[in-house]
Amino acid sequence: MRVKPFLNKFVSSIYPSYCWNCLKVFVNDSIFCDSCWDLINTVPSLKLGVAGEIGLNIFSAVENSEPLKKLLKRKNFGDVVASKHLARILLKYVDTENLDVDYLVPIPLHWIRYSKRGFNQAEVIAEHLGKILNIPVINLLTRVKRTKFQASLSLEKRQKNLKSAFSLNGKVLEKFNYDFCGKRLLLVDDLCVTGVTLQSAAKELIKLSPKDLRAVAVCRGTYKKFTFDTTI
Ligand SMILES: [Zn+2]
């Protein structure tokens, strides 16, 4: 008898898992029960403008609706495990086999929000992805402006809110001898609604003249009358 599967089964029978959406108990390490997995809808990738001719391809895994909303909101309760589950969902739904990137760059939190929450969900997702895909995570950006929560803002106010919100991380650039010209960067975030956050971050990163700059967000939300211009 193989010991590890036996032990896993034994441990699961003592500490059963539960569905993160409906709380149904089951004996495996799945995130949701079968019925709740069926509620998940995938979304197409899209391309947003950044500056001039430069565009940003954004890969998203799933629609921001239940049961994903529940996982996303767990960050407000300091739940790092939920953030790791978001990374697992990303790996399940986005073709990460042929990403061809040199660095994963998480969208940073402002230090005040970081200290309140204790962690950055985008960074946890990036770290988990990096571990599985063997791609280093690098904090190339810092959040220099304490932005308001986006959810209650109009598109125009979101753009204003995020204007100059990010800056290149001088300490990290120095550590790497500013050697990012020609590198392939992938921005990582948990949620993309209007894409304004990713656009704003990308505007900073293109100053490094990367060879390729793309973004991935686990969930794609919808915002009133807003529709994205281009689908890849
Ligand atoms: Zn369920």
Q: Can you list the domains of the chain with their CATH numbers? A: 1-39 (no CATH), 40-231 (3.40.50)
Å from CA of 14 to ligand 1 middle:
20
Let me know: does 175 contact 139? Beta carbons within 8 Å. no
pLDDT of residue 100: 86
The single-letter code of the amino acid at 154 is: S
Q: How many A from CA of 103 to the centre of ligand 1?
A: 35
- Give dist(CA 56, CA 155) in Å, integer: 18
Ligand 1 centre distance from Cα of residue 36 (Å): 4
Q: Going by C-beta distance under 8 Å and a sequence separation of 6 or more, which residues neighbour residue 163?
A: 200
Measured in Å, residue 34 CA sits from the centre of ligand 1 at 7
- How far apart (Å, rounded) are the C-alpha atoms in residues 30 and 167? 38
Q: How far apart are CA 140 and CA 160, in angstroms?
A: 22
In the structure, what pLDDT confidence band is assigned to residue 6 with cuts at 50, 70 and 90? low
User: What pLDDT does residue 50 have?
Assistant: 72
State in Å: Cα 42 to ligand 1 middle: 18
Residue 155 contacts residue 223 (beta carbons within 8 Å):
yes
Q: Give dist(CA 204, CA 106) in Å, integer.
A: 13
Dump pLDDT digits (tens) for 88-127.
Answer: 999 998 887 778 899 999 999 989 888 888 999 999 999 9
How many angstroms separate the alpha carbon of residue 19 from the centre of ligand 1? Answer: 5
Please state, in angstroms and rounded to a whole number, the distance separating the CA atoms of residues 87 and 111.
Answer: 23
Q: CB neighbours (10 Å) of residue 11?
A: 11
Q: At what angle do helices 121-133 and 80-93 cross, to 10 degrees?
A: 50
Cα 37 to ligand 1 centroid, rounded to whole Å: 7
Closest CA to 215 of 86, 50, 68: 50
Please state the separation of Cα 36 from the chain's center in Å. 21
Residue 52 CA to ligand 1 center (angstroms) comes to 45
Q: What would the mean pLDDT of 191-211 be, rounded to a whole number? A: 91
Give me 4's structure tokens. Answer: 């590890």
Ligand 1 centroid from CA 173, angstroms: 44
d(Cα 179, Cα 209) in Å, to the nearest integer? 10
Distance 20 CA to ligand 1 centre (A): 7
The DSSP letter of residue 66 is T
pTM for the whole structure: 0.85
CA distance 67 to 100: 30
Could you tell me which residue, 138 or 94, shows the higher pLDDT? Answer: 138
